[in-house]
């Protein structure tokens, strides 16, 4: 997995929100430097301090039940993206993007996934 390739692909859509971010901040950091990242989201409250130190807005929220704050940021975005989220929440991520009228990009864990796949510079993405 190459964060610079993922960031390049996501940046083609415009301003972005990353959901289910976890501790993998490399793509968010690249997009932040390009002034394309609005915020990141995860349900783990411990991550707030981690992202605060990086200067990245963090929203504590479960993507399966998005908060009003997350929805507000997503409505300002052109794309919502997630890197290796569990397949059981893909539909929740796609639904959030639909509610917010923006595109959705998922970088799955492997090529063994459902949906329309796009291969970009050797990385596989699902795009809706």
Residue 116 has a pLDDT of: 76
Backbone angles phi, psi at 50, to 5 degrees: -55, -45
Nearest Cα neighbor of 42 from 13, 72, 66 is 66
Residue 31 is encoded by which pair of tokens?
Answer: 């997009």
Q: What is the pTM of this model?
A: 0.94
Contact 85, 92 (CB under 8 A): no
> Where does the pLDDT of residue 10 fall: very low under 50, low under 70, confident under 90, or very high at 90 and above?
very high
Cβ count near 117 (within 10 Å):
12
pLDDT > 70 fraction of the chain, expressed in percent and rounded: 96
Alpha-carbon gap, residue 68 to 70, rounded angstroms: 5
Q: Which domains does the chain have, with CATH numbers?
A: 3-112 (3.40.50.150)
């Amino acid at each position: 997995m190459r964060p610079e390739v993922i960031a390049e692909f996501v940046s083609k859509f415009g301003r972005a929100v990353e959901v289910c971010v976890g501790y993998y901040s490399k793509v968010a950091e690249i997009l932040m430097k390009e002034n394309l990242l609005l915020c990141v989201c995860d349900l783990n409250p411990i991550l707030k301090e981690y992202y605060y130190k990086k200067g990245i807005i963090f929203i504590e929220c479960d993507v399966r039940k998005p908060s009003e704050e997350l929805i507000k940021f997503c409505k300002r975005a052109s794309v919502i993206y997630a890197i290796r989220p569990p397949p059981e929440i893909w539909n929740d991520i796609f639904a959030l993007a639909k509610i917010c009228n923006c595109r959705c990009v998922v970088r799955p864990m492997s090529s063994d996934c459902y949906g329309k796949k796009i291969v970009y510079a050797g990385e596989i993405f699902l795009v809706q």
